[in-house]
A and B are shown apart, each in its own frame.
Chain A
Amino acid sequence: MRKVTLEINGKTVVKEVHDNTLLSSFLRDHLNLTGTHIGCDTSQCGACVVHVNGNSLKSCTALAADIDGSKVTTIEGLATNGKMHPMQEAFKKLHGLQCGFCTPGMVMSAVDLLQKNKKPSDTEIRDWLEGNICRCTGYQNIVAAVKEAATKM
């Protein structure tokens, strides 16, 4: 066991964790932040993507211990004062989701893209979302939503 201190969605969290606790289960099981989903649990699907110190990563493949001291943003941390983030708005407006399982990871990954590239082309959006798998939408509306969000952010 060890103590980790993290800033999660703007709040400081200090908790005891096992050395092998994954960031994904730390968020879901210890903090009840179940918006971060676990799909494949083997680094392939991107349902578990969160931001650590401003960059997206797959939380199923990081240890709570190894990001000790970092700032984490999850899907729950995107809305401000009950108002959806422009990326969430765009996904809603353009039907960028059906079952919604992939959506938190898709949105977190797409937000990271727009931090790095304000006006991505369709190809750049598709390349960036390489690590996010959606079994429902066929991706067209996801790409459209990211483009729409780029005009609002």
Chain B
Amino acid sequence: MFQIVNPQNKEKSHLHLLTDETKATIDYWLNKYPHEQRRSAVLGALHAVQDQNIGWISTELMSAVSEYLDIPLVWVREAAEFYSMFHTQPVGRHKISICTNISCMLRGSEKIVQYAENKLGIKLGETTEDGRITLVKEEECVAACTGAPMMIVDGHYHENLTEQSIDEILGGLD
């Protein structure tokens, strides 16, 4: 890894940011693919660093993943920015994604969004001031259309939402 260039143009290593646990998880994913296709481990790796870093992935962590997998950094960023399950900005303790895709939209997801926004005092994509809840910017269909409208709270599906059920769910979060 060397081009004798101006020292100020050299990038620093971020490998030390990965915890042993994260590295073990990445290794688990790396083992599943042949070396030439190690790019495939990027999703597993991004999940691992996101978990390690209380729910979001910093650019430094992306660099660390790219170094660890030995793949171009831009591939890591492409994946991190493509999927709504990855967060590249700091987030709250709880992540709430309200589906706004077609079935949920037909079943009134716009109202659900509005209700949640008013209740929490934040817009989609924002985090409450106390750092408790983030309303995820957008969520595509997660194949729960039969229970539309729906939302995902920290990975758990909640279907057939009503204002009342939203109150209950949000109230139950620490």
Do A and B assemble together? no
Residues of A within 8 A of B (CB): none
